[in-house]
Amino acid sequence: MVIKVFFPSCCPEAESGLLLGRWIPEQNAAVVLAIIHYPFIPGQVKQYLEQIQSVTTVNVSVLGSWSSHSSRTKDNIDQFLQDLSSIFPHDFWFQLTQEKESRSVFKCHVVQQCDSKNDKENVILIHYDQRKVMLSKLHDVDSKSIECNHNTGEEAEAITSDFAAIFDTVAKCELLFMIDKYDETPIKFTHWQSAGRETSIIVELAKQASVPVCMVLLFLVTFVLNICKSRVLNIWPLHILWSRLTTCVQLAHRLDHLQTIASSTKAQNHTEFMRKANLFVSFLIDVGLGMLLISWLYQQNRIGQLADALIPAADHIAKELEILLEWLMGAPAGLKMNKALDEVLGHFFLYHIHLWISYIHLMSPFIEMILWYVGLSACLGLTVALSIGSDIIALLTFHIYCFYVYGARIYCLKIYGLSSLWRLFRGKKWNVLRQRVDSCSYDLDQLFIGTLLFTVLLFLLPTTALYYLVFTLLRLVVVVIQGFIHLLVDLINSLPLYALGLRLCRPYVLAAGVKFHVFQKVAGKPLHLLMQINPLTYGMIIKRYRLPTYGCYPKDSWAALCKKLFIGRLIYPWKRRNEKQD
């Protein structure tokens, strides 16, 4: 049987005393938390142990004795230790003796209380850094459980790992480590903080100031949210508008975050705390980048230049579209188009462009002022600025969207009519009840009119298909540009910056596991290992602590998208996560 003894790395310099810690019988491991020095009163020690047990719910007890090299008194040490083991009854009594030659090699003698077999057991001494183990959080790196955690939305606190119990023990005994040598207590301890508690003034001040700030912020945010949810702003046409504008969605998202950050309940567990911290840091960085953008934009009258460039850009787009339509009305790429239909469609679209350009020109005196005020909203964050950019692009290319919808509807109707009339041509019919094609005997007039219409639709198909193709391509270009901007916004929204910063500065806090170095191997003495914390990789951190966003991901697979394009259904390739299915 192999017994593992976890020994704090600050304790080899300590004076002799009693080992205080927890025995974990399932793993045959003893975790030493502190050393109680002589002199002590056993009654007080027992009382103190009971207090600690009731507060921390950890089964702390006296595990054994520690005799350091410097303060050894040879005489009747064995009898003294024998008496001690009877005062503090324990299954296994560990006697650690430090060697004279090397301070970090000790002999370990185990005395078993229950059955005095006293056979030679193998003992491994593992040195661990108490502060790091107390602050770190062990993560379950099993990828399956991470996925199912994401799906269910709750984090399983019960991590099945051998070392989880040890990390847990040390973390829960924080109260034990509060007593340092400057406190007036009857019992003298040695642990990692016994030289003096460490704290920071800034952190204390921030903690004090955060409470009123949070309350004010929470009040403001709830007020704004109530206004937004009021019925006035949510009547039917406006509701569609708010849900389509990316800016509004992004602002709502950020307000949600602020509400989470400023909530008055403390974070219950590690995951909630990390989430709040990630949101906070991400929000700060976002606002910082937004401020940078503002400072860059408002220098040297760049806003004015932007406004001046906007109208000519819209004009240029319109002119290009007109040239394209003239080309389509001729014989594009040598294709044979039906003249009459061509003319009709071409003039229809040209009139639309004319309307749109007139509207833009009407708005041109106000553009600069509007841009100036809208640019100010970038102080709410870079993501908001990018969303506004995406919305401006959508507004400028609104006519392309309209053309796409017209072309798609006409094409879709035509395809639907053609497929139905083709079935009539062969003498068959679609059976809606059985969802299959059946034969059907039509009347003479149905046959005749159906065939005539089929001929007409068939010969007009190339013209319509060409218009549809051209406008779909244009629309796809705009969608790709918008998708790219959304991707950027999503990236900023979801990156867990606090966790990444933690991994950079304090890698031991997010632990994936432990690794061991062989410390000392001397024949005849127990094996000494040094335990070091293995931090999570950056990839795992991002996967685990990703902030949930309203994310944009492709709704259809490639095959489904191609099929929809072929039939003429309208495509909305990016779906938001909480949008209703259409």
Which neighbouring-strand residues pair with 581? Answer: none
Cβ neighbours for 455, distance < 8 A, ≥ 6 positions apart? none
Closest contact distance (angstroms) between CB of 425 and other proteins is 5
Interactions with other proteins, residue window 279-338 (CB under 8 A):
336-338
* Rounded distance between C-alpha atoms, residue 546 and residue 494, angstroms: 6
Q: By C-beta, is 239 or 339 nearer to other proteins?
A: 339
Q: What is the DSSP letter of 414?
A: H
Binding test (CB under 8 A) with other proteins, winner from 80, 442, 538, 572: 442
Closest CB 426 distance from other proteins, rounded Å = 6
| Residue ranges with strand state E in 57-164 | 61-67, 92-98, 106-112, 122-128, 137-138
Smaller CB separation from other proteins, 7 or 454 = 454
Nearer to other proteins, 444 or 559 (CB): 444
Q: Give the burial class of 193: count Cβ atoms within 10 A of its Cβ; 0-12 exposed, 13-18 middle, 19 or more buried.
A: buried
Cα-based angle 75, 188, 106 (whole degrees, multiple of 5): 50
If phi over 0 gives left and psi between -120 and 50 gives alpha, with beta otherwise, what is residue 332? Answer: beta
Of residues 32, 58, 424, 470, which one binds other proteins by CB under 8 A? 424
Is-contact 125 5, C-beta < 8 A? Answer: yes
Query: With CB under 8 A, what is the number of residues at the site for other proteins?
Result: 24
Tokens of 222: 């709830």
Based on CB atoms, which residue is closest to other proteins, 450 or 507? 450
Residue 441 in 3-state DSSP?
coil
Determine the number of helices (DSSP H) and then strands (DSSP E) in the chain.
18, 15
Report the SS3 class of residue 504.
helix
Select the span of 175-183, 212-220, 315-323, 419-427 touching other proteins (CB under 8 A). 419-427
Q: What is the DSSP string of 31-46?
A: EEEEEEESS--HHHHH
Residue 448 as a binder of other proteins (CB under 8 A): the answer is yes
Applying CB under 8 A, the span of 42-50, 295-303, 422-430, 570-578 interacting with other proteins comes to: 422-430
In this complex, which beta carbon is closest to other proteins, that of residue 201 or of residue 444? 444
For other proteins, give the closer residue by CB, 141 or 447.
447
Q: Could you say which DSSP state residue 574 is in?
A: E
Q: Rounded to whole angstroms, how far apart are CA atoms 398 and 409?
A: 17
Interface pick for other proteins out of 89, 288, 304, 427 (rule CB under 8 A): 427
Cα separation, 273 vs 270, in Å, equals 5
Residue type, 168: D
State the minimum distance, in angstroms, from the CB of residue 444 to other proteins. Answer: 6
Q: Per-residue x/- marks for other proteins, 331-370, CB under 8 A?
A: -----xxxxx------------------------------
Residue of the chain from 118, 301, 455, 537 that contacts other proteins (CB under 8 A): 455
**Shortest separation between residue 579's beta carbon and other proteins, angstroms:** 43
Looking at residue 442, its amino acid is Y
30, 62, 460, 497: residue in contact with other proteins (rule CB under 8 A): 460
Considering only 70, 243, 451, 537, the residue that binds other proteins (CB under 8 A) is: 451
Q: How far is the CB of 455 from other proteins (least distance, A)?
A: 5
Question: Is the CB of residue 218 less than 8 Å from the CB of residue 257?
Answer: no
Tell me whether residue 318 or residue 341 sits nearer to other proteins (CB atom): 341
Shortest spacing between CB 445 and other proteins, in angstroms = 5
Question: Which of residues 29 and 424 has its CB atom nearest to other proteins in the complex?
Answer: 424
Pick between residue 122 and residue 446 the one whose CB is nearest to other proteins.
Answer: 446
Q: Is-contact 499 274, C-beta < 8 A? A: yes
Contact region for other proteins (CB under 8 A) — 144-152, 397-405, 439-447, 474-482? Answer: 439-447
For the record, the structure tokens of 549 come out as 């966003």
- The first and second tokens of residue 331, run together, are 């014989």
Among 93, 454, 498, 550, binds other proteins (CB under 8 A): 454
Q: Is 413 in the site for other proteins (CB under 8 A)?
A: no
Alpha-carbon torsion (129, 130, 135, 136), positive or negative: positive
Asked if 466 touches other proteins (CB under 8 A), the answer is no
Task: Mark the segment that binds other proteins (CB under 8 A) among 63-71, 298-306, 369-377, 449-457.
Answer: 449-457
Q: Which is nearer to other proteins, 337 or 499 (CB)?
A: 337
CB of 412 to other proteins, least distance (A): 21
Helix axes 444-494, 302-329, angle to 10 degrees: 160
Helix (H) or strand (E) holding 102: none
* Residue type (1 letter), 155: E
Q: Which is nearer to other proteins, 80 or 459 (CB)?
A: 459
**Closest by Cα among 508, 546, 507 to 275:** 546
Q: Which of 80, 223, 327, 459 binds other proteins (CB under 8 A)?
A: 459
Pair type for strands 574-576 and 552-554: antiparallel
Q: How far is the CB of 327 from other proteins (least distance, A)?
A: 16
Q: Applying CB under 8 A, which of residues 205, 209, 379, 449 lies at the interface with other proteins?
A: 449
The answer to whether residues 316 and 347 touch, using CB atoms and an 8 Å cutoff, is no
Q: Is 518 one of the binding residues for other proteins (CB under 8 A)?
A: no
Quote the CA–CA distance of 108 and 526 in Å, as a whole number: 7
Q: List binders of other proteins among 373-412 (CB under 8 A).
A: none
Please tell me whether residue 198 binds other proteins under the rule CB under 8 A: no
Beta bridge partners of 2: 122
Q: Which is nearer to other proteins, 423 or 475 (CB)?
A: 423
The residue range among 98-106, 277-285, 390-398, 425-433 that interacts with other proteins, by the rule CB under 8 A, is: 425-433
* Interacting residues toward other proteins by CB under 8 A: 336-340, 424-427, 441-442, 444-445, 447-452, 454-456, 459-460
